[in-house]
Structure 1
Amino acid sequence: MSARAILVAAAASGQGKTTVTAALARRLRRDGARVRAFKTGPDFLDPLTLARASGAEVDTLDLWMVGEAGCRQRLAAAAQDADWILVEAVMGLYDGAPSSADLANRFGLPVLAVLDARAMAQTAGALALGLRDYGPVQLAGVLANRVAGDSHAAMVAESLRDIPLLGHLPRQAQSLPERHLGLGLPDELADFDARLDALADSLVLDDAAWQALPRLTLPPEPAPALPPLLAGRRLALARDAAFAFVYPANLACLRALGAELVEFSPLADQPLPAGVDALYLPGGYPELHAETLSRARAWQASVRAAHAAGLPIWAECGGMMALADAIETMDGHSWGMAGLLPGVAHMQDRLAGLGGQAWGALRGHTFHYSRLELPPEPQAHTVSQRGGGRGEAIYRVGSLQASYFHAYFPSAPEQAAALFLPAEDRPC
């Protein structure tokens, strides 16, 4: 089986990669195609938008964090049941080590260059030639974003020389919502699907050129079998608007290890489900819901009782913030949290952590705008992917382990399983 595949890239962030990828996914899906979308590099927000647009779960492709074998297995699986595979790149095409260009070349993915044309015309050709030849990459063509009209699109097309203009997207009256960590959550806007449909309607495509794009053929590669280290164990999983940052592959990995996942909502003041053996608190936006979480007495009492009883707890980034003594928001207000981890999560208007991280064999990333003040002494630190310097602190308080580190569980399943096991049951 095979599918047409393309990597949607740009010269930099902010050029409209997610908007274009989402518009393409919605357009192709409405035309009856089966669409699978992927996101290059660590990200939680863009995949939620692409999942809404494509109607299918969105996994991460990253040669360092996921690994070449993991990327190949996911692409091969998608090629078995999809007509189109859309891979959204991260930052600029050649940014990072490994970069989105490296991923495209490794798997033979043609590249669609999204060019923000709102303040240029013929210079688009120079940018396209540079993006193609610097690597080089197999450049399938250009999609011009924020185009003023057909005459503007024609000027861009004339500048491209031997590179086809595969389409363009006019300037939009409404854009996808953004905030400090990236795009807003789809469920926060009642008209989110209407915005996606408007983007799909506005997209002008050269249909013949699209249908001429090559097909990606990868032989099926079954996922590796995992030991049943979590067999018979029920894991409580916080899932709501405050705790939405979780890789789908993490949940699949936990299930493959034998765990049963039981979701609940701290925002709705739901206590931990009865009879669970461990708790997983992923990241998200607790700072946007700090007042509600501070009043969630049943949730706070249940997590304190679980901790006192020795229940294994893994809390990352926003999940860790919700277990601190308090969250101090940008307006200076301090909101009391569950109080299992000494310290105050202080929000700030600049990045406090960014980049790939590794904790032993377990890989992942960090991306946060808060800092934890007056924390306990760390039990360990992650290692930065770039340069190998000291990364994020890993804290331990009794059965709780917490960090700003977002772990990608399939990179080291046995180490991931140990996060949810009592000390005496952890694999050596």
Structure 2
Amino acid sequence: MVARAVLIAAVASGQGKTTVTAALARKLVRTGRRVRVFKCGPDFIDPMVLARACGAPVESLDLWMVGAERCRALLAEAAEQADAILVEGVMGLYDGTPSAADLSREFGLPVLAVIDAGAMAQTAGALVHGLRDYGPVDMAGVVANRIASAGHAAMVAASLRDIPLLGTLPKQAASLPERHLGLVLPDEVAGLDELLDSLADQLALDLDAWDALPAAQIPAPAAPDGAAGRPLAGARIAVARDAAFMFLYPANLATLEGLGAQLEYFSPLADEPVPHTATAVYLPGGYPELHAAALSAGQRWQASLRRAHADGIPIVAECGGMMALAESLQDKEGQEWPMAGLLPGKVVMQTRLAGLGAQAMPTAHGPLRGHTFHYSRLETVQPAAAVTQKHPSGGAGENLYCLGSLQASYFHGYFPSNPAAVAAMFSRSAA
């Protein structure tokens, strides 16, 4: 088996990277190829859409948060299982520290540049050559988005000179819908699979040129020594999982299971209580602000969390999970909804971005890496027990609040970055 691998990048956000990645993944799958897709950088929503497009789980790749060795292991595993590997970049090709370009060079992933050609023609060549030469990076080719006609495509192709135009996508009558934290969740989009099929149909792809790309050369790293053990053996962790709480990395759940824990799921939206067998609770991020009325009305889930807290059961709440544990949540319309009340104060939604970027949370076992991304603020008198550190600036990031067995923050942790710290977070001894 020969796996072709590319990093799909652009000059900026909003050029159509996710649309092109999803269309390309679905098109390749429909030709009988086995496709694995990855997302560069911290992200929860794009991977859900891309997983629907390719039919396989989508992991994150990031040289800082995930780490080079884990990235290498994930890519090497994919190269053994798939015919095509697509890595969707983040922001612009050279944005961030580390950037998508850094990932490209680290693992020898040639760049497939997505350009929005809707308002340009021959200037596309200057743009793409600049993207290639600034780093430099290896350029596999170009997909031109929002192409108006065959003549338009021909002008773009001629301007690229020695860089092939691998595909074009016309202006779309329907596109992937978005909201304040990114794309709308896949289950909320009626006819998503039909939309993905339509995008794949519209993508004019040179399959011969695709098959002519060099094979991926990603050697597997040395196997870990397994010294971490299973410190959570016997633990039963209740994980909130529904349309209000779904922002979590698949790798986080795999890490908890790898540490020995059994996972049980419950839905606060359905007013399901924390399972009585739980020895710890994990409330990940999500969109509680979109479901504030239902969450506020749910007395069983709220009472069960208050009981768990009173019993000293460890509760880890990230971003949306923390929002649901405040005394109240004020939505964008200004209406205030009572919440579970484990954390004093109220959460206020705002139109302005309140936090974004890579951060690390200090722990007794070293830093736990992750990120933050939210449009709300917590107004509380509760003092912070610790503060995360922004990467790469080192500045102060998000507050970490600890009240008894509760640990809450806007910070989203990437659990594989420090399994020992994660084991401690979900252990009663730490709480």
Q: TM-score range by the shorter chain?
A: over 0.9
Question: Residue deviations 1:308-345, cap 9 Å, x none?
Answer: 11110000000000000111011100011100001111
1:65-214 equivalences under 5 Å are 65-214=65-214
Shift of 1:417: 1.1
Instruction: Give, in whole Å, the separation in 1 of the partners of 2:392 and 2:63.
Output: 14
1:355-394 equivalences under 5 Å are 355-360=357-362, 361-394=367-400
Shift of 1:224: 5.5
1:240 paired residue number:
242
Instruction: Give, in whole Å, the separation in 2 of the partners of 1:183 and 1:43.
Output: 11
User: Secondary structure of the residue that 1:215 maps to in structure 2?
Assistant: coil
CA distance change for structure 1 residues 396 and 83 in 2, over 3 Å: closer, same or farther?
same
Instruction: Give, in whole Å, the separation in 2 of the partners of 1:368 and 1:111.
Output: 30
Shift of 1:207: 1.4
Instruction: Give, in whole Å, the separation in 2 of the partners of 1:88 and 1:310.
Output: 42
User: Secondary structure of the residue that 1:167 maps to in structure 2?
Assistant: strand
**Structure 2: 5+ residue stretches without partners:** none
In 1, are the aligned partners of 2:330 and 2:346 still within 8 Å (CA)?
yes
1:36-75 equivalences under 5 Å are 36-75=36-75
Give the TM-score normalised by structure 2: 0.97
User: Secondary structure of the residue that 1:26 maps to in structure 2?
Assistant: helix
Instruction: Give, in whole Å, the separation in 1 of the partners of 2:11 and 2:65.
Output: 23
1:176-325 equivalences under 5 Å are 176-221=176-221, 222=223, 225=226, 226-325=228-327
CA distance change for structure 1 residues 24 and 224 in 2, over 3 Å: closer, same or farther?
farther
In 2, are the aligned partners of 1:73 and 1:223 still within 8 Å (CA)?
no
Question: Residue deviations 1:219-252, cap 9 Å, x none?
Answer: 3344552320101110000111111100011111
Instruction: Give, in whole Å, the separation in 2 of the partners of 1:210 and 1:4.
Output: 8
CA distance change for structure 1 residues 32 and 75 in 2, over 3 Å: closer, same or farther?
same
* Letter paired with 2:83: D
Instruction: Give, in whole Å, the separation in 2 of the partners of 1:120 and 1:21.
Output: 22
User: Secondary structure of the residue that 1:213 maps to in structure 2?
Assistant: coil
CA distance change for structure 1 residues 223 and 237 in 2, over 3 Å: closer, same or farther?
farther
CA distance change for structure 1 residues 223 and 288 in 2, over 3 Å: closer, same or farther?
farther
1:331 paired residue number:
333
2:421 paired residue number:
415
Instruction: Give, in whole Å, the separation in 1 of the partners of 2:81 and 2:217.
Output: 12
User: Secondary structure of the residue that 2:70 maps to in structure 1?
Assistant: helix
* Letter paired with 1:356: A
Shift of 1:161: 1.1
1:23 paired residue number:
23
Instruction: Give, in whole Å, the separation in 2 of the partners of 1:2 and 1:366.
Output: 37
* Letter paired with 1:377: P
* Letter paired with 1:286: P
Instruction: Give, in whole Å, the separation in 2 of the partners of 1:287 and 1:60.
Output: 25
* Letter paired with 1:395: Y
Shift of 1:375: 4.1
* Letter paired with 1:382: T
CA distance change for structure 1 residues 223 and 39 in 2, over 3 Å: closer, same or farther?
farther
Give the TM-score normalised by structure 1: 0.98
CA distance change for structure 1 residues 143 and 171 in 2, over 3 Å: closer, same or farther?
same
User: Secondary structure of the residue that 1:423 maps to in structure 2?
Assistant: coil
Q: CA RMSD in A?
A: 1.1
Shift of 1:277: 0.4
Shift of 1:2: 4.8
